[in-house]
Amino acid sequence: MKSLSEIETTVKRASKATGYSWGVSEETGKSIRLLELFSLPGIKHLNEYFNEKNKSKFENLNLIGENNSSSKNPYCPITLGVSFLDQINVLENLKKIEFKNVAYPIIFISFISRSSEIIGKKIYLKMDEKKKILLNLNVNISSNFIEQEFPKLANTIEVNLLENEDNFTDDEWNNLYKLSEETFVEESDSLKEGAAGAGLTDND
């Protein structure tokens, strides 16, 4: 088994050899390491992408907007990923961002996962309508198609930046809280009198 350290170093060097700058290659190393840590096919897709990059053209998107579409060639997932990571503080203000025609989307997703940690918000992705992915603050990546192959091309990726909200109802919480109260003990009056702050009459 390859260690994550070997994966990161080799990816960094391979990315540099493919033409990316050292700084971008460092980012790619971190991102692919992350995918492999989560048992997602980072090395496999990076390999395929680099092979294809020799033969085909990919678009670089440096400035991301609300709707991003490449009609001719698919977007390079690394440049797109680094741009997303760099611009996340601005993108955070957009609730929904759409990308059309992205090559090897799993590579792009690894950068979005890291962005989720930077802004401290979960990010929800819909890929070609049916495939759904939740990026949990870079702690894990969950999806509804873990058993299926990741596509080599995403026609559309819809990125939703989720607000930090509970994903349960008030009723559910209150029920649980009530149950937790059963571990509390009713205090006697004499104990109340001696507790911190007791006896003070001012409000300072």
Partner 1 sequence: MKVELRDPNKIMKLSRLGSFHQSKLSFLRSFLNEFKEWEYKRDLFNLNENGFGEAVYSFKKNKRVYSLVCFANDIKDEERSDRVIATKWDAAFTLHDGVPTKKDIERLKNEVPKQEVGRLSYKELTLSRANKSVRIYNHVVESLSKGQQPDLNLLSKVGYLYRTTAVYGSGKFGLADRFRIKNREEINGPFRLEMMLVYLVRQFTFDQVNHVAYYKNPKKAVKLDDNICKNLGIGNSTGLGMAPFIVNHPTLLNNWVLSREKALKKIREIKDVESQDSDLFIDCVKKSLKNITSWNTDSEYQQKKISSLLMDVEKFLNFIDKDFNFKSEYPFEKIYQWLEENTCEECIEYIVSIMMEPYNDIINPLVKEMSSDEEKYFNIPTYRKVDELRNIIEAKYPNILDINFEEKENNKNFWFISKNKEEPRLADRFEEHGSELEQPLAIARDIKKLYDKLLVSKNSLTIAEFLTSNSELRHVVRRAFIVEKFPYSEIQDNTIGKDLMPIDMLRLKLSFFGALKFDPRSDKWLRICMFQGAPLPNELKSYDEQWVYKTNI
Assess contact for 35 and 4: CB atoms under 8 A: no
User: Shortest distance, CB of residue 31 to partner 1, whole angstroms?
Assistant: 11
Is 63 a residue that touches partner 1 (CB under 8 A)? yes
Is 187 a residue that touches partner 1 (CB under 8 A)? no
Count, residues near partner 1 per rule CB under 8 A: 27
- Interface characters, 22-61, with partner 1 (x: CB under 8 A): xxx-xx--x-------------------------------
Is 162 a residue that touches partner 1 (CB under 8 A)? no
User: Shortest distance, CB of residue 66 to partner 1, whole angstroms?
Assistant: 17
Cα separation, 166 vs 93, whole angstroms = 20
Cα separation, 111 vs 114, whole angstroms = 5
Is 69 a residue that touches partner 1 (CB under 8 A)? no
DSSP assignment of 102-133 equals EESHHHHHHHHHHHHHHHT--EEEEETTTEEE
User: Shortest distance, CB of residue 4 to partner 1, whole angstroms?
Assistant: 5
User: Shortest distance, CB of residue 3 to partner 1, whole angstroms?
Assistant: 3
Both tokens of 138, joined, read 């870079």
Both tokens of 176, joined, read 């649980």
**Which of the ranges 13-21, 46-54, 97-105, 163-171 carries the binding residues for partner 1, by CB under 8 A?**
13-21
Closer CB to partner 1, residue 23 or residue 65?
23
Is 140 a residue that touches partner 1 (CB under 8 A)? no
Q: Which residues pair with 69 in a beta bridge?
A: 100
Is 145 a residue that touches partner 1 (CB under 8 A)? no
* Residue 176 burial (10 A CB sphere; 0-12, 13-18, 19+): exposed
Cα separation, 132 vs 75, whole angstroms = 20
Is 121 a residue that touches partner 1 (CB under 8 A)? no
Pick from 104, 96, 132, 111: nearest CA to 33 = 111
Give the binding site for partner 1 (CB under 8 A): 1-6, 13, 20-24, 26-27, 30, 62-63, 82-83, 85-90, 114, 118
